[in-house]
Structure 1
Amino acid sequence: MHPSVLAALVKLKACAQSEHPEEQAQAQYPLGTHIFEVKDRGAGRFPFVLVDNTYRIQLSKPGKKLPMAYVQVSAEYLAHRGPVAVESELQALLSELGVLSGPNRVSRIDLAADFSTPVVMDSWHRCAWVTRATEIHSYAKDQKFTGWTIGMGGVMGCRLYDKVQEIVNTGKAWVMNQWIPMGWKPGESVWRLEFEFKRDFLKDRKLTSLESVLANLNGLWSYATTEWLRLTVPNELDGTRSRWPTHALWIALASVDWESTDAVLLDKCSTTRNPTELRLITVVLGSLVSFMAMHRIVDRNEAIDQLLTRLYEHYSTVAIKQGLSFDEYLARRIALKGREFNTAINAPGLVDNLKQDFEDEGADAYRRASKGE
């Protein structure tokens, strides 16, 4: 990492840890088209964490026996750009932070296939799973079956789960934009079969570069669905489970071709972490309805006016206690949300100024030393 970048990150992290909201709002690091939030805490041995909707970048200090950066890419962004384009962009972004040496290494990949089927996903007993893993778990929510996990926590694991239910729980509806071109219609169930391959598994098979991983996706999927795990049709007359016939659903899933050119990339993916407008509207409506019920108001315009007046009066009092006007208080709150949502740079030029201050201090120290001061 460049020394000036390190100096800037140290000060930005201190801003994030500040008790003063105006300083917290400045904890941002613009890179390319991204406005990263600088977190107030590191992650393990990585003292600095930068986050937006596309990347979570963990940065180490120079001199440590660690890679300069450990990066988690959001699934949505991968679905928009594709892994090769993402690696290229990351290379450019990280080059602004320091000198990159050595090859990029893949530490984990998730391979997933989404599908619709009339097969009931809990219609078999757990003994139907023939696997090298030792742990098999099933899950349900509100009496509705939601999925299986096999071998999670090891060097590889499997999840088979109700993807629509997961979207309901998380709000990550972007994946539906990949289903629609493939013929999916709202209301249809979709399940996801997902395999997680961790660093040790990939390293043992010399699959550490993105190029090597992408060249072996079919092999990884084949190993996962034929050698490591199979869904079978149990045969009570045969005690050797490895001879049990493979379930028809599993045969279809195992035949997924990862070299197919039919993949659908998302048209867009924002770098911001904005909440949906529907979520905001829902919150506002809930507040308005509650206010109208509390005060027995039936006219919505009257209720809106009164609610806004109460809001202004309350937060004007809060602002005065902090030595601010209402508008100044509002601007401060907006700046904090801008940092959280990655939507606006609250202190334009701050990072460049911090880096320049470091360079100037170094030059000044050199001049003093050269004069014997």
Structure 2
Amino acid sequence: MNKKVDVLSSDVSSEQTESAEPSRDATRASAAAWRGGEVEQDLDASHQSESSPQGTPPSNTVPNNCNNEYFKLLRFGVDSLYLSYPGELLPEVDEELKELKQVAQSPELHEQAFAQYPINEHIFEVKSSGKGFFPYVLRDNAFHIQLSRSRSIPFAYVQISSQYLTHKAPLDAEKSLQLVLKRLGTIEESANVSRIDLFVDFVTPENMESWDRHAWVTRASAINNYSVEREFSGWMIGAGGVISCRLYNKTLEIKQSKKAYLLELWHKAGWNGHDPVWRLEFQLKREVLTQKGLGKLTEVMDNLNGLWSYATTEWLRLTLPNPEDKTRSRWPIHPLWGYLSSVDWQTDNNPLLPRFTSARIPSNEMIFRGALSSLVSFMAREQITNFDHGFAAYKLAFCQHFEEKSFNLGLSFDDFIREKIAIKARQFNTILNRDIEAEEKAKLDKSATEYRKQSDGE
């Protein structure tokens, strides 16, 4: 792990506005103050210590099981992972995806329902359009795959989803991805990392808007803060750069994103279910990684401590501004940043979700909220207040309405409903609408017919 630390301390960002490197004396003071996980209980005393970007390995600082009234670490790890694979798309896959892409572009929704590509336990949706140099896009809840025909760029560019990385560790998730990609093409090299997002989830009573932008000592030029309905939601530093950082209220974000699976993991880590959970997240793009000598996934995963140390002690620090000292690099770090910058990425004590589905299924809340609105609107219109009576009348009126609609389309009611299910099944990756066996038989029959024609000289 230590073999990359010196390399990771070099400059990367072209956004540099001022140095964030503290003095060596401050570094030594920081190492003494934080080593062994001992943190000054007196805040005035702790404000005098300085975080070290160079001399103090994170594993010798604050332990990952740290649990006190000021800072509780819940989880840390890889939130999103973007990988690319040099190789070549198989010709037969190219032809099949070309046909499925055309199906996805059909103006008829019921025809689009057949734009699916099954691989192992995955039922990928084939998108109607490509992205950039990648003409084919496949997607489910685990992987977002972009495929290319060109030999001048990677044949596959893939995002491994955040949710899948709560079920499998990054290297295990990549192994599963390889099994999928080998069905699509020939992989010539191991995975290259195009982007990796590292996060730490924690609880603290610290007021996250108690400091202004001057407290951030950083090489980035853009520093912004945000709120949602007048509630402070977080900070963004370095947006659009090769490195960027977000410190934000994750519980507030979940209310909008509905990523409720994180709640189970936080509870396992000791969250009380009430305190807001904050997330510190760094996005590191390929330009950063390659300048650090890290290109392959295994190399990046072996050097997470060095990357985190670079991000939190050299590229960005949260400080306690000292108006008397014009040299910002000498300002002491904020106590909260001392904890965050000291997470030990060599340990692996994060709980994982035991269950995962590659289907992108909506929650009961999303489904039934709409159903309830429709039902009560009908009951109010019909002046029915008894639920059983109202539900029965609603079902009857529903069937009558759509039987008439399906008749006008030349379909039976059952066929009409099956078409609607198929459309949603493609979006949700739940049901394979294509008859693969029939398709394979048709291909064999076609090949046999063409062979006979050639044999007969036609």
Please, which runs of 5 or more residues in structure 1 have no aligned partner? Answer: none
Cα deviation for residue 71 of structure 1 reads 0.5
Q: Give the match's secondary structure for 1:37.
A: strand
Name the structure with the higher helix share: 1
Cα distance change of structure 1 residues 218 and 81 upon mapping to structure 2, 3 Å threshold: same
Task: Give me the whole-angstrom Cα distance separating, in 1, the residues matched to 2:272 and 2:228.
Answer: 24
Task: Give me the whole-angstrom Cα distance separating, in 1, the residues matched to 2:445 and 2:332.
Answer: 68
- 1:322 pairs, out of 376, 399, 409, with 409
Task: Give me the whole-angstrom Cα distance separating, in 2, the residues matched to 1:82 and 1:359.
Answer: 44
Which residue of structure 1 lines up, in the alignment, with residue 19 of structure 2?
A: none
TM-score (norm 1): 0.94
Check the 8 A contact 1:4/1:356 in 2, yes or no. Answer: no
Task: Give me the whole-angstrom Cα distance separating, in 1, the residues matched to 2:215 and 2:452.
Answer: 72
Task: Give me the whole-angstrom Cα distance separating, in 1, the residues matched to 2:135 and 2:427.
Answer: 19
Deviations 1:138-162 (A, max 9, x none): 0001110000000010101000000
Which 10-residue stretch deviates more, 294-303 or 247-256? 294-303
Which residue of structure 1 lines up, in the alignment, with residue 73 of structure 2?
A: none
- 1:266 pairs, out of 337, 349, 353, with 353
Task: Give me the whole-angstrom Cα distance separating, in 1, the residues matched to 2:319 and 2:438.
Answer: 58
Q: How many residues align?
A: 370
Q: Does residue 383 of structure 2 align to residue 293 of structure 1?
A: no
Q: Does residue 135 of structure 2 align to residue 70 of structure 1?
A: no
Task: Give me the whole-angstrom Cα distance separating, in 1, the residues matched to 2:377 and 2:410.
Answer: 31
Cα deviation for residue 354 of structure 1 reads 9.1
Identity %: 45
**Matches for 1:121-140 after TM superposition, within 5 Å:** 121-140=208-227
Q: Give the match's secondary structure for 2:322.
A: coil
Cα deviation for residue 372 of structure 1 reads 8.0
Which residue of structure 2 lines up, in the alignment, with residue 46 of structure 1?
A: 134
Cα distance change of structure 1 residues 184 and 306 upon mapping to structure 2, 3 Å threshold: same
Cα deviation for residue 278 of structure 1 reads 2.3
Check the 8 A contact 1:178/1:266 in 2, yes or no. Answer: yes
Cα distance change of structure 1 residues 356 and 88 upon mapping to structure 2, 3 Å threshold: farther
- 2:97 pairs, out of 6, 9, 32, with 9
Cα deviation for residue 194 of structure 1 reads 0.1
Which residue of structure 1 lines up, in the alignment, with residue 115 of structure 2?
A: 27
Q: Give the match's secondary structure for 2:235.
A: strand
Q: Does residue 277 of structure 2 align to residue 211 of structure 1?
A: no
Task: Give me the whole-angstrom Cα distance separating, in 1, the residues matched to 2:154 and 2:196.
Answer: 18
- 2:317 pairs, out of 230, 241, 244, with 230
Q: Which amino acid aligns with 1:85?
A: D
Which 10-residue stretch deviates more, 36-45 or 300-309? 300-309
Deviations 1:127-183 (A, max 9, x none): 000000000000001110000000010101000000000100010111112111111
TM-score (norm 2): 0.77
Q: Which amino acid aligns with 1:342?
A: N
Cα deviation for residue 303 of structure 1 reads 1.2
Q: Does residue 144 of structure 2 align to residue 56 of structure 1?
A: yes
Q: Give the match's secondary structure for 1:185.
A: coil
Cα distance change of structure 1 residues 351 and 99 upon mapping to structure 2, 3 Å threshold: farther
Cα deviation for residue 350 of structure 1 reads 6.2
Task: Give me the whole-angstrom Cα distance separating, in 2, the residues matched to 1:366 and 1:131.
Answer: 72
- 2:447 pairs, out of 355, 360, 366, with 360
Q: Which amino acid aligns with 2:99?
A: K
Check the 8 A contact 1:7/1:354 in 2, yes or no. Answer: no
Task: Give me the whole-angstrom Cα distance separating, in 1, the residues matched to 2:438 and 2:301.
Answer: 36
Cα distance change of structure 1 residues 233 and 355 upon mapping to structure 2, 3 Å threshold: farther
Check the 8 A contact 1:8/1:351 in 2, yes or no. Answer: no
- 1:18 pairs, out of 94, 102, 106, with 106
Cα distance change of structure 1 residues 365 and 270 upon mapping to structure 2, 3 Å threshold: same
Cα deviation for residue 244 of structure 1 reads 0.8
Check the 8 A contact 1:115/1:191 in 2, yes or no. Answer: yes
Which residue of structure 1 lines up, in the alignment, with residue 341 of structure 2?
A: 254
Q: Which amino acid aligns with 1:170?
A: S
Cα distance change of structure 1 residues 83 and 164 upon mapping to structure 2, 3 Å threshold: same
Task: Give me the whole-angstrom Cα distance separating, in 2, the residues matched to 1:196 and 1:355.
Answer: 48
Deviations 1:173-218 (A, max 9, x none): 1111211111102111100000000011111112111110011000
Q: Give the match's secondary structure for 2:192.
A: coil
**Matches for 1:326-365 after TM superposition, within 5 Å:** 326-349=413-436, 353=440, 356=443, 360=447, 364=450
- 1:282 pairs, out of 369, 372, 379, with 369
Cα distance change of structure 1 residues 64 and 334 upon mapping to structure 2, 3 Å threshold: same
Which residue of structure 1 lines up, in the alignment, with residue 67 of structure 2?
A: none
Q: Which amino acid aligns with 1:24?
A: Q
Cα deviation for residue 19 of structure 1 reads 2.0
- 1:120 pairs, out of 193, 203, 207, with 207
Check the 8 A contact 1:162/1:192 in 2, yes or no. Answer: yes
Cα deviation for residue 272 of structure 1 reads 0.6
Deviations 1:66-109 (A, max 9, x none): 11110001011012111111111111111111111123211000
Task: Give me the whole-angstrom Cα distance separating, in 1, the residues matched to 2:235 and 2:361.
Answer: 31
- 2:328 pairs, out of 241, 256, 272, with 241
How big is the alpha-carbon RMSD for the aligned residues of Structure 1 and Structure 2? 2.1
Cα distance change of structure 1 residues 81 and 243 upon mapping to structure 2, 3 Å threshold: same
Q: Does residue 168 of structure 2 align to residue 88 of structure 1?
A: no
Q: Give the match's secondary structure for 1:335.
A: helix
